[in-house]
Amino acid sequence: MHSGRRQLQALLQWLVLGVLVGLFCGTASAVFLYALSAATAFREAHRSLIYALPVTGLVVGWLYERFGQPIKAGNNLIIDTIHDDGPEIPIRMAPMVLVGTVLTHLFGGSAGREGTAVQMGASLADAIAHRLDLKRVARRELLAAGVAGGFGSVFGTPVAGMIFGLEFVVLGRIEYDALVPALVASVVGDMTTRALGIVHSVYPQPAAVPVSSLLLAKWLLVAALVAATTTLFIEATHFLKRHGERYFPRLPLRMAVGGTAIVLMWLAAGVDDYLGLSLPLIAKAFATPLPWYAFLLKLAFTAVTLGAGFLGGEVTPLFCVGAALGSFVAAPLGLPLALSAAVVLAAVFAAASNTPLALSVMAVEICGPGVLPHVVIVSVLAYLLAGHRSIYPAQRLLRHKSGTRLTRATPLRELDHA
């Protein structure tokens, strides 16, 4: 009886805390998405703003250098805090990353949304944990709930948000201890964002296609291409960050140089397709085959933007990279266009973030059940083929993807990326 009472008390505690975190995350995501939409529309109506991206980088870089040192690690700070029980994540992370990301999009940088939402959610959840004086284990679970609430609410994918919050911390292991608060926070966060009037992007729903031996062989080839694309993006972004810090130690200058590079790339491309979230390009990928260079250009724009230090996430830009790649390979491989675009859209980020389960579920939530089982097959294969790389170098590894156990939870940044 006592055991049942304790379980009921724990459940009620996590229901209450999960709802609280979800309300904060959903509200923050709604404000962020509204501002992001307004900034994008304003930039599209005033294209000359793009020329000011280097100045924006200079200003935002100075502000982050002056006030953002404790939070500059972004998502990696959250992962390290979950593992190491570090100091409280500064609450100023939420407003700073929100404003910084909106400015990135207002002036044309190629970045996403999930990094901002996850950082807002985790900082708000950690503020709650410290105000309630929660112990280490409870704090860890609430941080996972903050990640789930931010991810689920910003994309309108509550189940994927829950799984992402449990999956992205340690490779190959789901943190079930935080299952209830992560689920509650993600569902409540999504409900809150929708209740505040946010309408999420609508994606095409590919028709179901039966699996065959030939189709499996094609998906294996696609997974190899996804892994290669993911590797290129991760290595390019890390290369630009590393060498940018070497040659331009001051963040404001580094961001100004990166902003200048984006402006020059935009002028060379002659189109706006690769700026911001590139949602129109994603929609185009589902409707008509894109040229081979489309996914490479979006990859380059995003790597330069994030490598220079501009704020934002990787999900939607990598969705665009994946959709463009899937659109391009569909015809040569004899794959249905919409299915190929939807599967590769999810698989690229699945491999980049080492979250194949979350992204497989996310593909179902945004593109319908017709993507099954194809998206799972490609995401898992690409995850394995990409090796021990990640857009989040702080992710811990307990077991190599080959099956070999490590003696301790090791951050990916300490490995040789084999």
85-94, 143-152, 294-303, 313-322: segment of lowest average pLDDT: 85-94
Question: Over the stretch 41-90, which tens digit does the pLDDT of each residue have?
Answer: 999 999 999 999 999 999 999 999 988 787 887 788 898 888 888 888 88
Q: Which of 298, 244, 277, 299 is nearest to 108 (CA)?
A: 277
pLDDT confidence band for 416 (50 / 70 / 90): low
> Could you give the count of Cα atoms lying within 13 Å of 301 in the half-sphere of its Cβ?
34
Q: For residues 352 and 234, is the Cβ–Cβ distance under 8 A? A: yes
pLDDT tens-place string over residues 338-386 = 999 999 999 999 999 999 999 999 999 999 999 999 999 999 999 999 9
Residue 313 pairs with which residues in a beta bridge?
112
pLDDT digits (tens, 9 = 90+) for 95-107: 999 999 999 999 9
Angle at the Cα of 107 from the Cα atoms of 164 and 70, rounded to 5 degrees: 50
User: Quick one: pLDDT at residue 362?
Assistant: 97
- What pLDDT, on a 0 to 100 scale, did the predictor assign at position 115? 83
Cα diameter, the chain: 71
Taking only the tens place, the pLDDT of each residue in 184-213 is: 999 999 999 999 999 998 899 999 999 999
266 vs 249: CA distance, rounded Å: 25
Span 211-247, pLDDT tens digits: 999 999 999 999 999 999 999 999 999 999 999 999 9
Judged against a pLDDT cut of 70, whether residue 3 lies above it is answered with no
Q: For the chain, list the domains and their CATH numbers.
A: 2-195 (1.10.3080.10), 213-386 (1.10.3080.10)
- Alpha helices (H) in 308-389, listed in sequence order: 315-333, 337-353, 356-367, 374-385
Q: Give φ, ψ of 75 to 5 degrees.
A: -60, -30
Strands 405-411 and 396-399 come out as: antiparallel
Give pLDDT, residue 67.
87
Does the pLDDT value for residue 392 go beyond 80? yes
What are 240-289's pLDDT values in tens digits?
999 999 999 999 999 999 999 999 999 999 999 999 999 999 999 999 99
Which backbone phi and psi does 386 adopt, to 5 degrees? -75, -10
Q: Are 264 and 304 in contact (CB under 8 A)?
A: no
Question: Please, are residues 396 and 171 in contact by the beta-carbon 8 Å criterion?
Answer: yes
Tokens of 286: 């589902």
Whole-structure pTM value? 0.94
- Whether 324 has a pLDDT exceeding 90, the answer reads yes
CA–CA separation, 58 vs 174, rounded Å?
A: 40
Residues 156 and 190: beta-carbon distance below 8 Å: yes
Q: CB of 123 within 8 A of CB of 93?
A: yes
User: At 398, is the secondary structure helix, strand, or coil?
Assistant: strand
Residues 6+ apart with CB under 8 A from 65: 250, 251, 252
Residue 175 pLDDT > 80: no
pLDDT of residue 128 exceeding 80, the answer is: yes
Question: Pick from 166, 143, 115: which is nearest to 354 by CA?
Answer: 166
The whole-number average pLDDT for the span 38-43 is: 96
What is the residue type of 258? Answer: G
Query: 356-367 and 374-385 are packed helices; what angle lies between their axes, rounded to 10 degrees?
Result: 150
The tokens describing 384, both together, are 């394995």
What pLDDT is recorded for position 2? Answer: 61
Per the listing, tokens 């002036």 go with 107
Average pLDDT of the residues in 110-130: 91
pLDDT at 312 over 60: yes
Tell me: cis bond preceding 373? Omega within 30 of 0 counts.
yes
Ranking 18-32, 197-211, 316-330, 398-412 by mean pLDDT, the lowest is 398-412
177 falls in which pLDDT band (50, 70, 90)?
confident
Strands (E), 178-253: none
| C-alpha–C-alpha distance, residues 201 and 315, integer Å | 13
Task: Identify the pLDDT of residue 35.
Answer: 96
pLDDT surpassing 70 at residue 1: no
Please state the rounded mean pLDDT for residues 330-340: 97
> 3-state DSSP call for residue 125?
helix
In this prediction, residue 6 has a pLDDT band, given cuts at 50, 70 and 90, of confident
Nearest alpha carbon to residue 168 among 328, 313, 364, 340: 313
Q: State the pLDDT at residue 373.
A: 97
Residue-averaged pLDDT of the chain: 92
